[in-house]
Amino acid sequence: MAHLFDSSALKSPLPGVIPELGTRFEDAGYELSLVGGPVRDLFLGRVSPDLDFTTNARPDDIIRIIRGWADTFWEIGREFGTIGMRKGGFQVEITTYRADAYDPSSRKPAVAFGDKLEDDLFRRDFTMNAMALRLPSMELVDPFGGARDLHAGMVRTPGAPSTSFSDDPLRMMRAARFASQLQVQVAPEVFEAMRDMAGRIGIISAERVRDELTKLINGKAPWTGVDLLVESGLAEHVLPEVAALKLEIDEHHRHKDVYQHSLTVLRQACELETDADGAVPGPDFVLRFAALMHDVGKPSTRRFEPSGSVSFLHHDAVGAKLTAKRMKALRFDNDTIKSVARLVELHMRFYGYGDAGWTDSAVRRYVNDAGPLLERLHRLTRSDVTTRNRRKAERLAFAYDDLEQRIAALAEQEELAAIRPDLDGEAIMALLNVSPGPVVGRAYRFLLEERMENGPRSEAEAAELLRTWWSAQPESSMQDTGLSPDTTEKESLRGQDGSGTNAKDK
């Protein structure tokens, strides 16, 4: 199916780089078409800064045509027929028509160049990505009904789904990602193939799975994409902790559906993101993934109590460890792992505030423990309220409002965002006449504890507190013996059983 594309229907003008590049290839005697996601995006009224083209020109020909016109170009994907370039604000990839063959035991194709645009489109993942715009004629080539499926909000494959997913199993996760990003549904035959072939995702590298998962979580409706992963069985291979949240509900319904609760928390966390000028601009992967994973410790900590209730003691700490382990397996970077796991660990900290109230010291510890994650923790904690009991929901919201107000009030008086002892390490060493070592660390922790408990003090008050603390330490009385406090501490640790005998002498 081919017809002229009505560019006047676009919400924004077609970038000049597209027809200009098409003219260069036509003048050189070659075909060129805009293809894949950028064509799909034209139907959605948006233009991506990343543009994909396909051509019957071979890599050497592509380089000859763009040399001197492109701002820069690179040949990293040359063996796959791809030449990359940058022009203005656009990053462009131009790939020779492909007709690859796949080894069922591997994702890597045996690269074979093709000669026909239609053959190249057939090997693409979904019909909505198997459309091309011939240039510079603006002829739309849509042999598999991609525009129809996009309009219907349906994910279909150009050929049999089983063949497409066998060629590249990551396409199954991509279908779930599209459900999240574009808020579309997968066709019944596509879902059936995903369910039957879910285990084949195991041949895909952790890094590629991670990248698809990140895009899914950052989509417009990540809860729909996650649900598709779970229902198809893919989650059992890539996010088994989430799949395990579908706990069997006991006959007395003594606890809520943890899985559905987690999807609701994810949705509510997305709703609490702020724009680029706010504290947590969306999409925020750390907040969203913590919302999804916050209760993954519940399946292994569930206990039915004699009273008839159900408990999940320490599920926050267990969940933080499970989350970190899964993210490491998916090759996430250390900073992201630590941030998400820390939020999971802290998500229960607030509960009890409304009943017993907190001292200023407890508020300081809450802020200090959250550190730079505080704004995300605010949103995660609020998102975790999914009760249908309006009175309970209002009580929790009021309590958290009160906590945030107290944090703001204390912040006006103290530097809550970066709580430090009233004396730094240099001042501690000078005052105690000690060298860097364990003693300084102990003194620092003592002053930090005092700062948390009682708020800021003057330098003189802090110095007096430190002298009092130091006078009670065994090292202080040994300074005149010629031994350093650090050496004394090591000797003390050897004989810490109280017998006065060093462990090495026993």
Q: Identify whether residues 254 and 361 lie together within a single domain.
A: yes
More confident site: 239 or 361 = 239
Over the stretch 30-71, which tens digit does the pLDDT of each residue have?
A: 999 999 999 998 888 887 889 999 999 999 999 999 999 999
Residue 380 belongs to some domain of the structure: yes
Residue with tokens 């791809």: 82
Residue 163 included in any domain: no
User: 138: domain CATH number?
Assistant: 3.30.460.10
Give yes or no: residues 256 and 342 share one domain: yes
Indicate the average pLDDT of the chain.
85
Supply the DSSP string of 345-380, one letter for each residue: HHTTTTTTHHHH---HHHHHHHHHHHGGGHHHHHHH
Q: Determine which of 48-52, 207-211, 466-470, 495-499 has the lowest per-residue pLDDT on average.
A: 495-499
Taking residues 238-246, what's their average pLDDT? 94
Q: What is the pLDDT of residue 492?
A: 41
Answer yes or no: is 220 within a domain: no
**Of 262 and 485, more confident:** 262
Best CA proximity match to 399, nearest among 363, 361, 452: 363
- 458 and 409 both lie in a single domain: no
3-state secondary structure 258-299: HHHHHHHHHHHHHHCCECCCCCCECCCHHHHHHHHHCCCCHH
Q: Is residue 371 part of a domain?
A: yes
Residue 375 within any structural domain of the chain: yes
Name the token pair of 383: 């998102």
Strands 90-96 and 82-87, sheet pairing: antiparallel
427 contact partners, CB below 8 Å, separation of at least 6: 459, 463
pLDDT confidence bin for 506, thresholds 50/70/90? very low
Contact between 262 and 224 (Cβ < 8 Å): no
Residue 506: half-sphere exposure toward Cβ, Cα within 13 Å: 9
Considering the domain architecture, whether residues 247 and 393 belong to the same structural domain is answered as yes
Domain of 438? 425-495
Q: Which two tokens stand for residue 187?
A: 């066709």
In this structure, the answer to whether residues 350 and 403 fall within a common structural domain is yes
* The predicted structure's pLDDT at residue 6: 57
- pLDDT tens digit string along 427-447? 888 888 888 888 888 888 888
Q: What is the pTM of this model?
A: 0.78
* 391 part of a folded domain: yes
Percentage of the chain beyond pLDDT 90 is: 53
Q: What is the pLDDT, as a whole number, of residue 168?
A: 93
* The pairing of beta strand 82-87 with beta strand 310-312: unpaired
Residue 413 scores a pLDDT above 80:
no
Is the domain of 28 the same as that of 140? Answer: yes
Number of domains in the chain: 3
**Structural domain contains residue 143:** yes
Q: What would the pLDDT profile of 16-34 be if each residue is shown by its tens digit? A: 899 999 999 999 999 999 9
pLDDT digits (tens, 9 = 90+) for 104-155: 655 566 667 778 999 999 989 999 999 999 999 999 999 999 999 999 999 9
Note whether 391 and 250 are same-domain residues: yes
Say which range, 91-100, 122-131, 161-170, has the weakest mean pLDDT.
91-100
